[in-house]
Structure 1
């Protein structure tokens, strides 16, 4: 398996100045959105974010790295803000910009993201993003153009762009911590999944004998422009996904059967868009599938990143564009792939529309 360092190292060096500036803007004075904030807190935020990025690097889609890094940065910032909330009280709580409002303002008026992109990043609705932006901007004076200028002026401070090692987050230390974190998570998750899936997960081996592959070679990467095979099915129509697995849809959700576990069911969730993933043991291999829901546009491509593999999934949906459906990988998932993906929290699943725009991201194991 190729070592992740060269790819991660190049990204970390190239992206550090922007990451540091955003971290400083997030940690600024709540009454001064242009303030660059506490240097030590911002540096620690960058360090924690890069450790997480390194630990998850193999499962982050290479054409979507910026989104995942921003999401990790903001998640770490909001987590820290919740910890600090009980320790400090604003001098005027009615005028203070909340941590979530500040994150929205920085992403909207500094990073230049659209409201829909921020909603995906924060895991909330566009309406919630709009509300946070409006309330935060009101506290900051109500002038969006002035706020953007204050952010730009703060970011232009010469002290904020410096060599990597001056931020006390040397790359070697970040990668060592990232690898340690990966190994620790692998041990915990493997223990849990050994209990859930039984001996098949621990001792099973081999691959499916089914059709299809990522790109015609083992461990290959699917072409970024490859479209998913999409099949519109009637309610209850059985589809032989791979030998031994049948999948069918009804109005209430996804049904599937394997030799080990017949007649399984999963219904689409309401609310915000999402996409899930899960493995099923079949004939010494693992069948990977999931359910997408809450989409406003029909999917054109489902891309699944598992360990070092990038797979274009097959899509099943009912007629009438119900906004939900099923994806599945037409290839086997080996025991080695499964173990490797455990360390990263499961596969990363990205759903694109016909224009190539991301409509939902998700994954893990349901």
Structure 2
């Protein structure tokens, strides 16, 4: 990749607030948004909508993981908007599908790896490679031409400030923060209403990790409570009672679990050895007696994870971990309490449950990107 095309994310520290992050990150956000959609005015609106959503969730975003949340919000907002528009036959970057263009922007403009792109889009690394291959083919298969098109599009930024209107960004930022606070209040009200409607007043994941807003002054490690996940080493075939009504056990090729509704189920590790070596984690909700049991596989790690955290509706809970003797680099995580139907439905307003795996240093080593 041509390093001159790389858009650098703003420096951030444990005490950075939303306003400071937004001011530092706005030029980079507008640049990426412009490459995604190709229109300066639409790019400016895309950035504003993204910042509103980020502001609404700011207190719950780990400070060392802000970049991922902002990038994911920007890309997903773009894909939603593109899906609502009618397709128009165009040339150059405009000839790409919205998803192909997003993949190529993240790979060749922001310099992300396939795993990071797959986590952002919520798809497999194989799907990312497919989108990239087809998108590049649509442009004649010439990576140099692609970089040239990106550079030409980026040049539009020199005159793009007019799209922000004559209102200084400092003034706009106040409106963004107000809209973000209103959106946060509205989301809280929606979740409460859904839970009350379905008569599910139980607390989300009744564990010691519930609660706490994760204020803006916390570091990433502090925001996720970098203690450790309960890790249990088991023998192949040894059954573990994960939650009432659910048994889980491991064999050399993957995860097994059994419920009254679905006995002897199985989820295999990635069969491709290359994919298995790349860090990844899956998440799957399993119905159990009117609620849902969340679990999945993690793999591609050089050591057992220090923390596996499940995020639903902006709240976090520490997952339990099962692994085979010898630290094979993969294992099973599960949430130690069931999730009600109302809570699961409400979580999909935000894209569904997310699982994040941290190493001993508090660094994110894997993040869920879809069911497994």
Q: Same fold (TM over 0.5)?
A: yes
- Aligned ranges 1:193-204 → 2 under 5 Å: 193-196=195-198, 198=199, 201-202=200-201
Specify the SS of the correspondent of 1:228.
coil
- Cα contact 1:351–1:358 (8 A) shared by 2: yes
Q: In the alignment, which residue of structure 2 is the partner of 1:174?
A: 176
Per-residue CA distance 1:281-340 (angstroms, 9 max, x = gap): xxxxxxx9731226343650213457897665432345585955133469xx9xxxx9x9
Instruction: Tell me if 1:138 matches 2:148.
Output: no
Tell me the distance in 2 between the aligned counterparts of 1:140 and 1:195. 51
The structural deviation recorded for 1:64 is 1.5
Tell me the distance in 2 between the aligned counterparts of 1:11 and 1:327. 34
Count, aligned residues: 323
- Cα contact 1:306–1:347 (8 A) shared by 2: yes
TM-score with structure 2 setting the length: 0.66
Per-residue CA distance 1:199-248 (angstroms, 9 max, x = gap): xx53x68x97x8xx66xx98773677654342123545456x8xx97974
Specify the SS of the correspondent of 1:326.
strand
The structural deviation recorded for 1:130 is 1.7
- Aligned ranges 1:79-94 → 2 under 5 Å: 79-86=80-87, 88-90=88-90
Specify the SS of the correspondent of 2:186.
helix
Specify the SS of the correspondent of 1:232.
strand
Specify the SS of the correspondent of 2:96.
coil
Specify the SS of the correspondent of 1:108.
helix
Instruction: Tell me if 1:351 matches 2:352.
Output: no
Tell me the distance in 1 between the aligned counterparts of 2:318 and 2:98. 37
Q: In the alignment, which residue of structure 1 is the partner of 2:63?
A: 62
- Aligned ranges 1:204-215 → 2 under 5 Å: none
The structural deviation recorded for 1:92 is 10
The structural deviation recorded for 1:108 is 0.9
Instruction: Tell me if 1:293 matches 2:301.
Output: no
- Aligned ranges 1:172-321 → 2 under 5 Å: 172-196=174-198, 198=199, 201-202=200-201, 221=222, 226-234=227-235, 235=237, 237-238=239-240, 248-250=247-249, 253-254=256-257, 273-275=281-283, 290-293=294-297, 295-297=299-301, 299-300=304-305, 301-304=307-310, 312-318=318-324
Tell me the distance in 2 between the aligned counterparts of 1:268 and 1:169. 55
Name stretches of at least 5 consecutive residues in structure 1 with no aligned partner: 29-37, 257-261, 281-287
Q: In the alignment, which residue of structure 2 is the partner of 1:325?
A: 332
Q: CA RMSD in A?
A: 4.9
Name stretches of at least 5 consecutive residues in structure 2 with no aligned partner: 1-14, 215-221, 271-279
- Aligned ranges 1:25-174 → 2 under 5 Å: 25-28=35-38, 38-86=39-87, 88-90=88-90, 96-152=95-151, 154-155=153-154, 157-160=157-160, 166=168, 170-174=172-176
Select 2:19's aligned residue among 9, 17, 20: 9
Tell me the distance in 1 between the aligned counterparts of 2:223 and 2:315. 8
The structural deviation recorded for 1:254 is 4.6
Tell me the distance in 2 between the aligned counterparts of 1:56 and 1:363. 21
Q: In the alignment, which residue of structure 1 is the partner of 2:8?
A: none
Q: In the alignment, which residue of structure 2 is the partner of 1:259?
A: none
The structural deviation recorded for 1:172 is 2.3
The structural deviation recorded for 1:189 is 2.4
Per-residue CA distance 1:41-66 (angstroms, 9 max, x = gap): 11111122112212222332322111
